[in-house]
Amino acid sequence: MEEAAAVRRAATEAVADVVPDRFRSDIESLMAEGSAVPGALTLLAATAAPDGPAEFEALDGLVERAAGVQLIYDGLRVTRDLAHGDPWSDGDSDRGDIAILAADVLVARGFYLLARTEAADRAVAVVRAFGRGQTTRREADDVSLDRNLERDVLDLALVAGTTAGGGVPPSDREWVLESLLPADGFPPAGEALDGMTADLTRLTTAEEGRAVEGSGD
């Protein structure tokens, strides 16, 4: 998928100055373990609007926004994996220490790329919600709360994408989130987003306050 490849390149460029080289390689390996759905959706959301660009390369700064969304997701995903796997208790403290540092770098670089965009406040809200949700998850032993990260990041992607060209994110976008939300982690971007362009077009052209029908209706 072209969008996913573009996001991966931009995300990798965003951490290109991290040193030492071995640490940067560790970061890139952790990034490669996840799906590029959040970043790819950001690009699709920007190009789906009737008055948006036909190709994502035509909108200055859009790929960087998508990389910002992707980096935040990757960082929080790694953090969640560490919280559940707890390598420190398994005697692999080095792996745990490197991974938590990498997660911090990923989230920080994501914030940097989104800092001057309309999605900045939403990005902060996603990270705060993640912290609260994981605390509740641990206390209540409710694994269903893990899916909140994917839902919140998908929403961040829609906000970052639709505002990239000056659009306003539709308030009624729950059906898009539901249609994309995975049962257990994101599949490859091409598989998850195939055929979503038409649905995103309907979303971005919906009248304010008017219910938008789901893709399966």
Residue of 158, 174, 165 whose CA lies nearest to 119: 158
pLDDT of residue 51: 64
More confident residue, 35 or 206: 35
Q: Domain 2-201 classified CATH 1.10.600.10?
A: yes
Q: Which two tokens stand for residue 77?
A: 């995903």
Average pLDDT, the chain: 85
- Supply the pTM of this predicted model: 0.88
pLDDT digits (tens, 9 = 90+) for 14-47: 999 999 999 999 999 999 999 999 999 999 888 8
Region 132-147 average pLDDT:
90
Higher pLDDT, 101 or 54: 101
Q: How far is CA 131 from CA 68, 79, 80, 109, 141, in A?
A: 19, 10, 10, 18, 15
* pLDDT > 50? residue 183: yes
Residue with tokens 């060209």: 165
List the chain domain ranges: 2-201
pLDDT score at 179: 75
What local confidence, expressed as pLDDT, does residue 174 receive? 82
Q: How far apart are CA 158 and CA 85, in angstroms?
A: 30
With a CB cutoff of 8 Å and minimum separation 6, the contacts of 149 are 73, 76, 77, 80, 130, 133
